[in-house]
Chains A and B, each alone.
Chain A
Amino acid sequence: METSAGARSKAFEELLALKETVFRICLGYAKNYADAEDLTQDVYLKAHRSLNGLSNPESGREWLFAIARNACIDHRRKDRLGRLLPFLYEKGRERRQDPAPAVERDERAQVLKEAVRRLPEKLRAVFVLRTYGGLSYREIARSLKINEGTVMSRLNRARTGLERRMKDNADKKA
């Protein structure tokens, strides 16, 4: 019993070493820095709760990234629902008053963020895991349960879409 608890604790510590990667993935999905940090907390809480479900510790990385992606999608869904039915979530989580990083005041960064949010989920997942998370094609493929070739083609489509949106936006300004 003690061994099991010890193994559990060790596995969690190993996962905790990936917190920066998880935070970066959450940053790709979230609207801002504060949301990304809250989401990262939620991801680790969920991982801690369902640590027993991790049958193969070697696939812990992909497992954690899958939890992160699902938590981000879930958060976005709740965010939309919260805007429609504010009385359900009016007590929502407390917002910390951290100073926003300078990049959040950068207009181009905000345009890109909005463009990423508007991508279809299949393309967004690949783009976020690769560009924000810095995952390899293989890790993305294993995490999303798709082929590496599909990862590459989706990434290419996502980049093209984002560049087009950013160009359209720049043209409008000009």
Chain B
Amino acid sequence: MPTKKPEAAKPGPSPETIVKNEIDSALSAFRTSDFEARLRGRIRAESERSGRTRRPGRRPVLAWAGLILVLVSGVSIGVWIRSRAARTGTVLAVFEAALARSPLLRPNRADEPAGRFQQTASPGPLEQTIERALRPLFQEPLAATPGERVSPAPRSISVEELDRKIGELIKGQKLELFFSEYLKKEEDV
């Protein structure tokens, strides 16, 4: 029984022939007068527009790229400012707490017995550092150990005077060292 050979695909027209047909067909639809009229209109419109300012919308890719760049830089700057604010806020909060607890820096109040803080709370390393830095301002001895009573100091300094002196210290950047040391410790932990 003779087997039927699979039929080979017929060789079609060459690419050149197909291209020639395509060109003939396209050229028959190509209206040169319409084409030229449209082109001249576009050239005229473009030359009229060239005098005006270029709108960013004419180049959508550039406009989008610019917008994305602005957004990314805005977010980055926002994050950076926020982190700086949080960092400063933390340092200031700790510093204020330390100042509030320090017997050296509390303004003199008649209803508060001297040395109470030494009895109830032990100063932390930061408080000790701050007190050490501010001690020359007040010429007042510190308690050597937590809980030891110190003689009542002549804390006759007013709140305004205290503010001014701390301001001078900060302005002179003498307290910068303490901030940085404290932050380093915080980061190590």
Report A's interface with B, CB cutoff 8 A. Answer: 16, 19-20, 23-24, 27-28, 33, 36-37, 40-41, 44-45, 48-49, 88-89, 91, 98-99, 101-104, 106, 108-109, 112-113, 115, 131-132, 159, 162-163, 166-167, 170-171, 173-174
Contacts and interface: CB of A to CB of B under 8 A. Distances in A.
B177 interface: no
B26 A36 contact: yes
The majority secondary structure among interface residues of chain A is: helix
Interface string B11-27: 11111101101111111
A166 B16 CA distance: 12
Given A19-B32, A45-B42, A109 B21 contact: yes
B23 A132 contact: yes
Pairs of residues from A and B, 7 with the lowest C-beta to C-beta distance, nearest first: A103-B25, A170-B9, A101-B25, A174-B9, A103-B22, A162-B15, A112-B18
B22 A23 contact: no
Contacts of B112: none
B9 A101 contact: no
Contact of B23 (A27, A49, A98, A113): A27
Interface residues of B, number: 34
Contacts of A115: 15
Given A99-B29, A159-B15, A170-B9, 19 more contacts: A16-B36, A20-B27, A20-B32, A24-B23, A28-B19, A33-B29, A36-B26, A41-B39, A45-B43, A88-B60, A89-B60, A98-B29, A103-B25, A109-B18, A109-B21, A112-B18, A166-B12, A166-B15, A170-B12
A40 B35 contact: yes
Given A45-B39, A102-B25, A20 B64 contact: no
A106 B25 CA distance: 11
Contacts of A101: 22, 25-26, 28-29
Interface string B34-60: 011011001100100000000000001
Given A27-B26, A162-B15, A19 B9 contact: no
Nearest to A88: B60
Contact of A33 (B26, B61, B64): B26
Nearest to A89: B60
Contacts of A23: 26-27, 30, 35
Contacts of B46: 45, 49
A104 B18 CA distance: 11
Contacts of A27: 22-23, 26
B184 interface: no
Nearest to A128: B19
Contacts of B4: none
A88 B57 CA distance: 11
A103 B60 contact: no
Contacts of B60: 88-89, 91
A36 B19 CA distance: 14
